Amino acid sequence: MKRRDFFGKSMLAGAFMSPAAAVAALDSSSSKKSIHTGLESTTDKEKEEVVIERPVEGRPHAGKVLGIIQPHCDDIALFAAGTVAKLIHEGYTGYLIRTSNDDATGVGNSYGEQVLNNEKANEAFAKSLGIKKIYDLHYRNHRMDEYNIQEIKGRLIFLFRLLKVDTVISYDPWGHYEENPDHYVTAKAVEAARWMAGGRGDYPEQLDVVEPHSVMERYYFARGPQLVNRVVDISNYIDKKVEANKAITSQGPGGNAGAQLRKALAAKGKKLPILGNDDNAANFNYIKNFMLDIDSERLRGVPSDKKTGEQYGLEWAERFHYFGPAENKLEEYSKANLVNA
């Protein structure tokens, strides 16, 4: 994500003004209606209905592996941390893959300091969600479009095979109006690698140490208009999402923004009661009430998680372009029609 400077020369102006996010995503209106993306498309995919994914009891996903792929340390936290928290709680083992080194943004007086601080933030984010391990690919930040995508795909293919990833969550390769090259390059590399990993013809030298393994399920998010066909109920995990964003103090609209706003207002003899009475509460309440809700479109470039949930009778929700395993019609038919020879 771009670095956002929340506090300028004027305390109040700096407190309330950050650069606007690129494009606000459009809402899908109902789980019973066709999806409206803001595009004049009439394909069958565009007419797909929204499925609401709700929490389930127990650990139905035990033994499954979740690949969490982000270019920068704050991407998943902003758009999908609630779903990651839900899936891990339901049994997934999560692995985080960060494709860039975040050297062009964040807190620090040099590239080296920025890289280090973002690496620490990435680790704190992973810990907050119970992610098992981090893999950093260390491509230059905001410059991933200068790299050969085949190299990026090859590294992802190896990791998908090595970890036996069942499900990925990342940026949507079909997202529209995405300005950040790291986002769209990572998205396209993930989508290509996840199916190439299942064949024997791509990077066959890897097969001396790993087996072919296709990733069968994908949750894709975007900052701009996208096809939305799955809404995940994160009501039970909204506080985990808040904590994940609190952990990222090196860049992005979360971290210590609430405490900074509280301090700026106090210097003017003012306060916002919603922020609470200490810095920790201010950070938590700012993220939950402003970043994820009231001021979401300005700070994240997507609709409020709360308003998204309300559209479907939920308290809080995240939106995705989802792909699941293909339905096996032959197997269904055979079960119903097999007879003894």
List the one residue out of 231, 221, 219, 224 whose CA is nearest residue 297: 224
Is 244 within the bounds of a domain? no
Task: Evaluate whether residue 120 is within a structural domain.
Answer: yes
Q: What's the pLDDT at 160? A: 99
- CA distance linking residue 57 with residue 71, whole number of Å: 32
Pairing of strands 51-53, 230-233: parallel
Taking the model in full, what pTM does it have?
A: 0.85
The dihedral through the CA atoms of 252, 258, 259, 265 has a sign that is positive
Angle between helix 238-246 and helix 279-286 axes, rounded to 10 deg? 120
Distance CA 22, CA 302 (A): 9
CB-neighbour burial class of residue 337 (10 A; exposed 0-12, middle 13-18, buried 19+): exposed
- Give CA separation, 180 vs 76, 151, 171, in Å: 15, 19, 11
Domain tally for the chain?
1
What tokens does 173 get?
């390769």
Domain that holds residue 178: 51-233+315-326
Higher pLDDT, 16 or 119: 119
CATH of the domain at 66: 3.40.50.10320
- Cα–Cα distance measured from residue 236 to residue 107, given in angstroms and rounded to the nearest whole number: 32
What local confidence, expressed as pLDDT, does residue 224 receive? 83
Q: Is residue 179 part of a domain?
A: yes
What does DSSP assign to residue 135? E
317-327 pLDDT per residue, tens: 999 999 998 88
Is residue 14 predicted with pLDDT exceeding 50?
no
Q: Does 117 map to a domain? A: yes
pLDDT in tens, 110-124: 999 999 999 999 999
Question: pLDDT tens-digit profile of 260-270?
Answer: 999 999 999 99
CA distance 139 to 124: 20
**Domain assignment of residue 198, yes or no:** yes
pLDDT score of 38 = 32
Answer whether residue 331 is part of any domain.
no
What's the whole-number mean pLDDT along residues 300-314?
97
pLDDT score of 23 more than 50: no
Sequence-ordered list of residues with C-beta below 8 angstroms from that of 300, at least 6 positions apart, any chain: 21, 78, 79, 223, 253, 291, 292
Question: Residue 58 pLDDT more than 70?
Answer: yes
Residue 17, pLDDT above cutoff 80? no
Answer whether residue 333 shows pLDDT above 50: yes
pLDDT at residue 112, as a whole number: 94
pLDDT of residue 326: 86
Q: What mean pLDDT comes out for the span 304-315?
A: 98
pLDDT tens digit sequence for 63-97: 999 999 999 999 999 999 999 999 999 999 999 99
Is residue 144 in a domain?
yes
Q: Is residue 321 part of a domain?
A: yes
User: In whole numbers, what is the pLDDT of the chain averaged over residues?
Assistant: 89
